[in-house]
Chains A and B, each alone.
Chain A
Amino acid sequence: MNFSSGAKKSAEGFRLGGVLLALCCAAVLGYTAGIRQPNSAAGKPAKTYVLNLGAIHLNLTVGAMGVLVIFTLTGLLAMAILLATVASRRRKQAEAANRGLASEIGERKRAQEEVNKLNKDLERRVAERTQQLDAVNKELEAFSYSVAHDLRAPLRHINGFSKILEDDYGPTLEAEARHYLASIRNAAKNMGQLVDDLLKMGQIGRQELVCRPTNLKSLVEFAVRDLQLECEEREIDWRIGELPAIECDPGLMKQVFVNLLSNAVKYTRRCEKAIIETGQVTLQGAPTIFVRDNGAGFDQQYAHKLFGVFQRLHRAEEFEGTGVGLATVQRIIQKHGGRIWAEAEVNKGATFFFALTAKQGSANAVKSTTAGEL
């Protein structure tokens, strides 16, 4: 738009120049004609002619100069007009560009303000959510505190009074009555164990990892020593292979071995000669720790249920348990950024593998499922 209006202006400039030129030419010609006419009428053509020639020459020279001046002026004028037009066009272009820039800057400012606003909104929402989560956490803590104190107490009372009844009045009771009393005591004891296990798992969930270089072999040796005291009458062949020193939370890692090894002790109870083995293998190039036994094993088909809270693959009459131990183990391994899985066959033993970096593990291994939250 700017360009076409500029072009129009310069075209007008040229037209004006042309008109001026034509007027000048007409004036010069008219002047020379006017000089020649009276002379020819006086009958002295030769002299007049000569004189006239001089005049014409003069006239022509002056005219030519005029024309030249006019041309130059016209050209200059045209050029000036042209320049002015170009300048005006450029100015307008610059103004338009400036306006565009200004609006773009405005746009950006608005966008920035929008981003700031969204950020602030997000920060506020994060703060709100954090506050909510903190509140929920506090509530959970209060809940587990209350469970620890108040839920255990009645269980102690049930167990205690049943025991006193059994001790003080047992002889006067019939066998059936004593059996019921024993059942009451057992039930209270089992629930007490369950409450303790659940609280422990909740505690592990909340606990921060305190990692330091830890010799796993001595950790396992400590755990085995504790377990040996509990099963002195059993014949168990403990095979503790080479284990690495790694960066981990020693307290929690000991809990992992205690749970896995005491499971191995429990599920080899019916074996004449139990073999419990632990060591390190390399699976797909990654160091992997294993705990293996030759006990009851389990059906690999249900391996995905192994690490769920309260999930059990054996009946309570066969093998006692609360279904919290392996869920706790998995929680600890996951807290260390690792994963755990198991391979087993019924009556041919079970092997638990864990790798402390997430990428490790065997291809045909069963992926552990995420334990439910407490």
Chain B
Amino acid sequence: MSHDEVEILYVEDNAADIELTLVALRRSRLANRIHIARDGVEALDFLFCRGPYMDRKFLAPKLVLLDMKLPRLDGLEVLQAIRGEERTAMIPVVMLTSSNEQADMVESYKLHVNSYIQKPVDFDRFQQVVQQLGLYWLVVNQFAPINGSEVMQAEKRGV
């Protein structure tokens, strides 16, 4: 898989969580084009094609799955950075987190998160949630033309 074709950018530091989520996505046949970033900095490097990803051609993923508690830059900081940049501002971002802490939820929505989901403890329900998420954002949802004309214009302006 080339980095350009990524459909889902999944930002998660916990190995067990990654494994379980991948199983759930695979069982829903949605795990083909997924890139995993292990912290907030890596996620932004990937998205903005910098650091280790400087050779990547910018192409917005269809969905960013974001954990809240991350090393270096946390979920909210990553979300803020994504919303703060024109070419990434319209990418659908879903918070997929352990907590249903109200403050986190409110802050996420203030930063225009598209959805906030608490990972259920029960794996059956978790699998349902992942499947619904994948189907909705990758299949049902219509995207803003991020990778089309607007981005080209943005690039011309030197963004």
For B123, give its contact among A145, A159, A196 (CB under 8 Å). Answer: A159
Say yes or no: B101 contacts A152, CB within 8 Å. no
Check if B100 is an interface residue, CB within 8 A of chain A. Answer: yes
Check if B2 is an interface residue, CB within 8 A of chain A. Answer: no
For B16, give its contact among A157, A188, A196 (CB under 8 Å). Answer: A157
Say yes or no: A163 contacts B124, CB within 8 Å. yes
Say yes or no: A155 contacts B99, CB within 8 Å. no
Interface size, A (range): 20 to 34
Q: Which of A155, A156, A185, A193 has the most CB of B within 10 A?
A: A156
Say yes or no: B99 contacts A156, CB within 8 Å. no
Neighbouring A residues of B147 by C-beta, 8 Å: none
A302 and B16 alpha carbons, distance in the complex (Å): 44
Neighbouring A residues of B123 by C-beta, 8 Å: 156, 159-160, 162-164, 185
Chain B interface residue count, Cβ-Cβ cutoff 8 angstroms = 20
A100 and B26 alpha carbons, distance in the complex (Å): 96
Check if A148 is an interface residue, CB within 8 A of chain B. Answer: yes
Say yes or no: A159 contacts B122, CB within 8 Å. yes
A149 and B69 alpha carbons, distance in the complex (Å): 8
Task: Kindly provide the distance from the CB of A137 to the nearest chain B CB, expressed in whole angstroms.
Answer: 14
Task: Kindly provide the distance from the CB of A258 to the nearest chain B CB, expressed in whole angstroms.
Answer: 16
Q: What sequence of 0s and 1s flags, for each residue 131-170 of chain A, a beta carbon within 8 Å of any chain B beta carbon?
A: 0000000000000010011101101110111111000000
Check if B126 is an interface residue, CB within 8 A of chain A. Answer: yes
Check if A192 is an interface residue, CB within 8 A of chain B. Answer: yes
A274 and B120 alpha carbons, distance in the complex (Å): 31
Check if A189 is an interface residue, CB within 8 A of chain B. Answer: yes
Say yes or no: A156 contacts B126, CB within 8 Å. yes
Q: Which of B99, B102, B120, B124 has the most CB of A within 10 A?
A: B99
Given contacts A156-B98, A156-B121, A163-B123, contact A149 B68 (CB under 8 A): yes
A156 and B16 alpha carbons, distance in the complex (Å): 9
Say yes or no: B121 contacts A159, CB within 8 Å. yes
Task: Kindly provide the distance from the CB of A270 to the nearest chain B CB, expressed in whole angstroms.
Answer: 25
Say yes or no: B20 contacts A192, CB within 8 Å. no
Given contacts A145-B99, A148-B98, A149-B99, contact A156 B119 (CB under 8 A): yes
Neighbouring B residues of A155 by C-beta, 8 Å: 121
Task: Kindly provide the distance from the CB of B131 to the nearest chain A CB, expressed in whole angstroms.
Answer: 14
Say yes or no: B100 contacts A148, CB within 8 Å. yes
Neighbouring A residues of B69 by C-beta, 8 Å: 149-150
Task: Kindly provide the distance from the CB of A229 to the nearest chain B CB, expressed in whole angstroms.
Answer: 16
Residues 77-106 of B at the A interface (beta carbon under 8 Å): 97-102
For A152, give its contact among B23, B121, B124 (CB under 8 Å). Answer: B121
Q: What sequence of 0s and 1s flags, for each residue 126-151 of chain B, a beta carbon within 8 Å of any chain A beta carbon?
A: 10000000000000000000000000
Check if B14 is an interface residue, CB within 8 A of chain A. Answer: yes
Check if A61 is an interface residue, CB within 8 A of chain B. Answer: no
Check if B17 is an interface residue, CB within 8 A of chain A. Answer: yes
- Nearest neighbor of B24 in chain A, beta-carbon distance: A160
- Nearest neighbor of A147 in chain B, beta-carbon distance: B99
A203 and B20 alpha carbons, distance in the complex (Å): 29
Given contacts A157-B17, A160-B20, A161-B20, contact A148 B124 (CB under 8 A): no
Task: Kindly provide the distance from the CB of A255 to the nearest chain B CB, expressed in whole angstroms.
Answer: 14
Residues 1-46 of B at the A interface (beta carbon under 8 Å): 14, 16-17, 20, 23
Task: Kindly provide the distance from the CB of B130 to the nearest chain A CB, expressed in whole angstroms.
Answer: 11
A161 and B16 alpha carbons, distance in the complex (Å): 9
Neighbouring B residues of A199 by C-beta, 8 Å: 100
A327 and B121 alpha carbons, distance in the complex (Å): 23
A164 and B22 alpha carbons, distance in the complex (Å): 12
Say yes or no: B102 contacts A203, CB within 8 Å. yes
Say yes or no: A153 contacts B23, CB within 8 Å. no
Q: Which of A152, A191, A192, A193 has the most CB of B within 10 A?
A: A152
A145 and B100 alpha carbons, distance in the complex (Å): 9
Say yes or no: B20 contacts A148, CB within 8 Å. no
For A153, give its contact among B17, B100, B122 (CB under 8 Å). Answer: B17
Say yes or no: A189 contacts B122, CB within 8 Å. yes
- Nearest neighbor of B68 in chain A, beta-carbon distance: A149
A149 and B126 alpha carbons, distance in the complex (Å): 16
Say yes or no: B122 contacts A149, CB within 8 Å. no
Interface residues of A (CB under 8 A from B): 145, 148-150, 152-153, 155-157, 159-164, 185, 188-189, 191-193, 196, 199, 203
Q: Beyond A148-B100, A148-B101: 20 further Cβ-contacts under 8 Å?
A: A145-B101, A148-B99, A149-B69, A149-B99, A152-B98, A152-B99, A152-B121, A153-B14, A156-B17, A156-B98, A156-B119, A157-B17, A160-B16, A160-B20, A162-B123, A164-B20, A164-B123, A189-B121, A191-B121, A192-B122
13 example contacts (A-B, Cβ-Cβ < 8 A) are as follows A145-B99, A149-B69, A150-B69, A156-B98, A156-B126, A157-B20, A159-B123, A160-B20, A161-B16, A163-B123, A193-B121, A199-B100, A203-B102
Interface residues of B (CB under 8 A from A): 14, 16-17, 20, 23, 68-69, 97-102, 119-124, 126
